Structure 1
Amino acid sequence: MIFSPDYVGVDVSKKHLDLAITGSSRLRVSNNPAGMARLVQKISSLTRPHLVCEATGSYTRLMARSLSQHGIALSTINPRRVRDLARADGLLAKTDAIDAAAILRFAHLMHPDPDPLYDPNAVEMADLVRRRRQMVDMLAMEKQRREHPEAALAQASIDAHIGFLSSQIGEMDRAITRQIDSDATLRRRAELLTTIPGIGQTTAAVLLAEMPELGGIGNKQAAALAGVAPFNRDSGEMRGQAHIAGGRLSVRCALYMATLSAIRANPPIRDFYKRLRAQGKPGKLAIVAAMRKLITTANAVLANNTPWHTNNTPWHTNTA
């Protein structure tokens, strides 16, 4: 007989954690090492503690590290899902205590899967990849500004900033490479991903940092996390057009560029794309379908721990 975990709803802020525990009064602890010790002590009486919180970036890291050290499960979820449930319950007020209770109710209804164990190397990798993406975005904006006539001093300033950003992006690329090389697991996963034509070192780094679940989940879930899974829009007799929705934007952007390369260099992806176009499918639809095929191929390669080859197609994965 499988027993439900003892869920704990946690509202996370910069300074505090507000806890909601079934059958217990609400508790607030500080978001610092002393507060984490108090948190672990408080939930030690629970049979199978499983904490659930909204994704709040770096504010959850200390808690994730502390819970991982004690073997306690943690799930981070999209805040919008909790707010949608709260609105459905008619709960319009918003305080830290109310949010913690709403998260607890969500946990009991949805039974979220635990996050992977806290890995400091993976966290640092994610920071580096995120910072690189920020600088690439800044570089693109500066290049756009450079196209418009400006005073000589303004143009010189833009050029200097472009040069600085370019050098910093190069340094970040080297730092990401060093981070991957320093961790045997990351290095092996990167090596496997880059055997797939179309996926280079930059895309591999994004997938490793932003989609660590890859290789341990099913193909449908992989497509959904990447934001390339189609969702139907049907009602009654009406049959609408399916559209992609949600997912991780950074992964989808990297996957899009990788797919454009794969359409040229990866025979199964290229043939799949051409077949869809020959059937009259719109170009954007065919690209999204190719993106879905590429991410599921990556999922299969990591799941099987085997380099890509032309017949290493998604259905060879041993995950459901």
Structure 2
Amino acid sequence: MMAEPAEIQCVLGLDVSRDTVTLCDGRRHTVTVANEADALRAALQPYQGTTTLAVCGATGGYEDILLGVLLELAIPAHRADPAKVKAYIKSFGKRAKNDPIDARWLSRYGRDRAATLPRWQPVDLTQQKLELLVARRLDLVAMRVQEQNRLKAPRSRLIADNIRDHLAELERHIEALNAEIDTLVGESRDLALRAEQLRSVPGIGPVLVPLLLAVMPELGTLNRRQVASLAGVAPHPKDSGKASWHRSTTGGRRQIRPALFIAALAACRGDNPLAVAYKALLKAAKPKRVALTAIMRKIITIANARVRDAVRHQNEIGQINA
């Protein structure tokens, strides 16, 4: 069982690198072990069954072995946002950095914020696979754009055939990923239900559906303000004293905003309530970029509401049948 935040007595700071993990339990002493399951299990075994919280940074996958061992030992863990930890350290005016120092700061960060830090939970294997496939597709699409731009360059005639061959190869890989993503979504009852609801929203097409499923799995569990903020389309105030500036949309998950912008353009050109709302905003003398941002926000909030209602209805049917 995982300990409640109020019960935490010890916070482990775990600085993860490719080959090693440096551990600090709140005291000055630190220990470094290999980033391997057996070594981590031996180092963490003494904390099993105690009121301990482990805090590690997100390192792009190098922390996966550590998190698996912590789950096996039933030690609650928090995977910290590196930007938040860096801001926390910076607030103390500190600049020194190495693995033991980082481990101590992670431990202190966990002690100060234990009550509010969300506990890490393992991702469903299907969801994890979808995230990897969608991320790889985004990478290949970015490569395709780069190669298309190179093909248009005035000095690319000598290598034009090579670029075209690479573009054709990228197209094959993208189509293969599209097929694999469609198959994966179709085989999962939950993902298929969510995808069906997303497709019903004006502007959301076959590219944005898997992107939202992969990058925003929280859809359907958030309120309208939270989902708008997560998508990076929530207006944030910028006021000070008598000065009041235009609100701006910042933050959120960076992959979502560009795709929502394209979705908003598509919705505004169609025959649907969002197009009517867009025209009403323009008629009210709103700048086009402001009106489009408002439509982006409407798209994600409608998607969130439809997914929420569909999942809730499915759960109710499941309870009745049970």
- Whole-Å separation in 1 of the counterparts to 2:69 and 2:223: 29
Write the distance in 2 (CA, Å) between the matches of 1:105 and 1:72.
Answer: 18
Q: How does 1:241-320 map to 2 (within 5 A)?
A: 241-265=246-270, 267-305=272-310
Q: Is the 8 A contact 1:9 1:102 kept in 2?
A: yes
Instruction: Specify the alignment match of 1:9 in structure 2.
Output: 13
TM-score between the two structures when normalised by the length of structure 1: 0.85
Match of 1:165 among 146, 158, 170: 170
CA contact (8 A) 2:48 2:74 kept: no
Q: Is the contact made by 1:65 and 1:118 (CA closer than 8 Å) also made in structure 2? A: no
Find 1:102's aligned residue among 101, 105, 123. Answer: 105
TM superposition score normalised by structure 2:
0.85
Are 2:58 and 2:82, in contact at CA under 8 Å, matched by a contact in 1?
yes
Aligned to 1:122: 127
Deviations 1:271-293 (A, max 9, x none): 33222222222111221221122
Q: Could you tell me which amino acid in structure 1 is paired with residue 80 of structure 2?
A: I
Say whether the 8 Å CA contact 1:220–1:229 is kept in structure 2: yes
Alignment RMSD (CA, Å): 2.5
What number of residue pairs does the alignment pair up? 306
**Cα shift readout 1:148-201 (whole Å, capped 9, x = no counterpart):** 334654111111111111111111111111222233222222222222222123
Residue pair 1:228, 1:292 contacting (<8 A) in 2 also: yes
Partners of 2:62 and 2:180 lie apart in 1 by 24
**Equivalents in 1 of 2:215, 2:151: separation in Å?**
31
Greater shift in the superposed pair: 264-273 or 231-240:
264-273
Unaligned runs of 5+ in 2: 313-322
Structure-2 change in CA distance of 1:214 and 1:72 (3 Å): farther
Are the equivalent residues in 2 in contact too, given 1:53–1:103 (CA < 8 A)? yes
- Out of 35, 41, 54, which is 2:39 matched to? 35
When structure 1 is superposed on structure 2, of 200-209 and 100-109 the one drifting more is: 100-109
| 1:212 aligned to which of 205, 212, 217 | 217
The answer to whether the aligner puts 1:191 opposite 2:196 as a matched pair is yes
Partner of 1:44: 48
Uncovered stretches (5+) of structure 1, i.e. residues with no partner: 308-320
Q: Would you say the 8 A contact 2:221–2:308 is kept in 1?
A: yes
1:53 aligns with 2:56: yes
Contact 2:220–2:311 (8 Å) recurs in 1? no
1:213 CA displacement: 1.9
Q: Does the C-alpha gap of structure 1 residues 230 and 93 become closer, same or farther in structure 2, counting only changes over 3 Å?
A: same
Which sits farther off after the overlay, 164-173 or 210-219?
A: 210-219
Change (3 A) 1:297 1:127: same
Which has the greater radius of gyration? Answer: 2
Which letter maps to 1:260? L
Determine the C-alpha separation between the residues in 2 that align with 1:85 and 1:184: 41
Question: Cα 1:159–1:107, aligned 2, differ >3 Å: closer, same or farther?
Answer: same
The aligned counterpart of 1:74 is 77
Contact kept, 8 Å, 2:45 with 2:73, in 1: the verdict is no
Contact 1:68–1:118, Cα closer than 8 Å, also in 2? no
Q: CA deviation at 1:70?
A: 5.3
Query: Is structure 2 residue 90 aligned with structure 1 residue 90?
Result: no
Please give the secondary structure, in 2, of the residue aligned with 1:82.
helix
